[in-house]
């Protein structure tokens, strides 16, 4: 898991996906419900998670299903070994919706700065971008100091 505690911080990944084309929450629900059987941890502070009826199923509240949006981010934490399966599910469900999913994967670096998710994503047959976002780790207080 990512950012969950000192014992298990070093290995983990976060997968995010969002779209740049108008879509409604039925598409979001379809993606979330496809991912849910793999038991990811839907980030509780994420606004899309807060619209879920049940994070175990990924079901979204009925009253927002017809709402149209330009961007919605499904944010999950998972273990490294689940990355290939989650990406395969995401790829499959992306063919069943009429919008675009932009996919991102993040993890906390090892002590030498290496990213543990890289190997798992490559092994699963997906290409990683040369660019991305880097957290310098300058924020204070540190997580385990709180």
Partner 1 sequence: MTNTLHRQGVKENLKNDYVIFAHTAKGKNREGSAPKIRQFMEICLKYNPVNMGDVKQGNMIQDDIDVKKLIANQGDGAGAAAVFTDLDTLEQVVEELVEADLGLCINVSGLLEGVRECCRKAGLERHSAEHSLGFWGARDRLPEREVLEFNTLCGHGMVSFNLIRKMIEYVRLRRVTPQKAARTLAKCCECGVFNPARAEMLFERMMKRGYLATEKRTDE
Residues found near partner 1 in the complex (CB under 8 A):
2, 14, 16-21, 70-71, 73, 87, 90-91, 94-95, 97-109, 111-113, 115, 117-118, 121, 126-141, 146
Residue 54 CB, nearest approach to partner 1 (Å): 25
What are 129-134's contacts with CB under 8 Å, separation 24+?
132/104, 133/106
Cβ atoms within 10 Å of 49's Cβ, excluding its own: 19
- The nearer residue to partner 1, 53 or 100, going by C-beta atoms, is 100
The least distance separating partner 1 from the CB of residue 143, rounded to whole angstroms, comes to 9
Positive or negative CA dihedral for 134, 123, 96, 54?
negative
3-state SS assignment for residue 53: strand
Q: How far is the CB of 63 from partner 1 (least distance, A)?
A: 25
Q: Which is nearer to partner 1, 62 or 118 (CB)?
A: 118
Nearer to partner 1, 54 or 112 (CB): 112
Tokens for 120? 């798992």
- Contact between 32 and 136 under an 8 Å Cβ cutoff? The reply is no
Compare residues 63 and 145 and give the one whose CB is closer to partner 1. Answer: 145
Task: Give the pair of three-digit tokens for residue 100.
Answer: 């675009």
């Amino acid at each position: 898991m990512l950012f969950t505690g000192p014992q298990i911080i070093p290995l983990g990944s976060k997968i995010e996906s969002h779209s740049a084309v108008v879509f409604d929450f039925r598409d979001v629900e379809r993606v979330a419900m496809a991912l849910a059987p793999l038991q990811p941890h839907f980030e509780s502070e994420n606004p899309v998670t807060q619209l879920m009826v049940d994070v175990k199923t990924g079901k979204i509240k009925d009253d927002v299903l017809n709402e149209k949006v330009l961007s919605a981010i499904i944010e999950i934490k998972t273990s490294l070994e689940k990355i290939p399966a989650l990406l395969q599910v995401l790829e499959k469900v992306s063919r069943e919706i009429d919008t675009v999913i932009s996919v991102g994967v993040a993890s906390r670096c090892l002590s030498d700065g290496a990213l543990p998710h890289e190997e798992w994503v490559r092994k699963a047959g997906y290409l990683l971008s040369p660019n991305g976002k880097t957290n310098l780790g300058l924020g204070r207080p540190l997580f385990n100091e709180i």
